[in-house]
Amino acid sequence: MLHEPVNLKGSKILITGATGMVARPLVAAYAKHAVVYALARFARLEDRESIEQSGGTPIAADLSELNSLSVIPREIDYVINCAVARTNNFERDYAVNADGVGHLMARCRGAKAFLQISTTGVYEYRGPEPHKESDPLGDSHRSMFATYSISKIAGERVCMFAARHLGIPTTVARLCVPYGDFGGWPYFHLMMMKNGAPIGVHPDRPNYFNLLHIDDCIEKIPRLLAAASTGVTLTNFAGEPRVSLEEWCSYLGELVGVTPRFVESTSALGSLCTDLARMHSLVGETRVNWRDGLRRMVLAHPPQST
């Protein structure tokens, strides 16, 4: 069933991982109409100032430290958990990506809805076939981030348990390759190309993913919150159509006048594209064409060779 978006106007929203590339634009967008508490460790003063300038209220806390979460106001309407640790330290990353989800939900148990931003990196690699939400999970990111896939899988399970145990309406959304004017994975590829560095690609080519523009994230998240249930709503969260890494790199190269150089490696991330039938039924289709989105990204941040 296609869900009408929740009305965020005047509501109190907690967004974690607020200094990250996905959460930061969310804070700026929703702070125009709601009270947005932006949670992060805020190790840098400039990050706090940036959040304040965008209209958010900074909250300095660490999801891995239960006592630090006491600074979160009790009266929170909606929680969007974008926090993630990718340190390759198992103790640290489990503490944030799994235990931290439980700490956060326990603190915000009165929320109307909780959105856990997960990743399509939880799926077992199986080539270019699109992944459904019911497909096997696996350690697909091991070659680049040793802790990432399995700690995010653990986080999903903690989230599902807490939602049912505490009665918190919850959606778990598996995000695939977010990008926007701020950058993203394609921008890293663009910088590599500008500096003459080769781009590693998995030998099972082409390597398909789904790019998701931040504008579509901003539009769809209120619908994902509306779809939340105490039984937990699980969905992929990605743009369409699928596009190969090779194709978007070639397009970026055309925009800036360089030619990508690909090097095959079994340690490179292989295809992780997604089946979007469930997402479409819940929140509808995305709108930003990937070529338009990448062109905007390049205009916003023209790459400089180093």
Is the entire prediction scored with pTM above 0.75? yes
pLDDT of residue 302: 87
pLDDT per residue over 14-24, tens digit each?
A: 999 999 999 99
Predicted pLDDT at 156:
98
Instruction: Give residue 143's pLDDT.
Output: 80
Task: Report the C-alpha gap between 4 and 20 in whole angstroms.
Answer: 27
Residues in the chain predicted with pLDDT less than 50, given as ranges, are 306
Q: What is the distance between the terminal CA atoms of the chain, rounded to a whole angstrom?
A: 49
What domains are there in the chain, each with its CATH number?
12-179+212-241+274-287 (3.40.50.720)
CA distance 127 to 8: 39
Q: Are 12 and 77 in contact (CB under 8 A)?
A: yes
Q: Is 13 helix (H, G, I), strand (E, B) or coil?
A: strand
Which pLDDT score is estimated for 110? 97
pLDDT at 144: 81
Quickly list DSSP for 159-188.
HHHHHHHHT--EEEEEE--EEETTEEHHHH
What is the reported pLDDT for 164? 98
Structure tokens at 163: 């939602």
Q: Is the dihedral of CA 144, 149, 151, 155 positive or negative?
A: positive
Lookup result for tokens 């690699």:
125
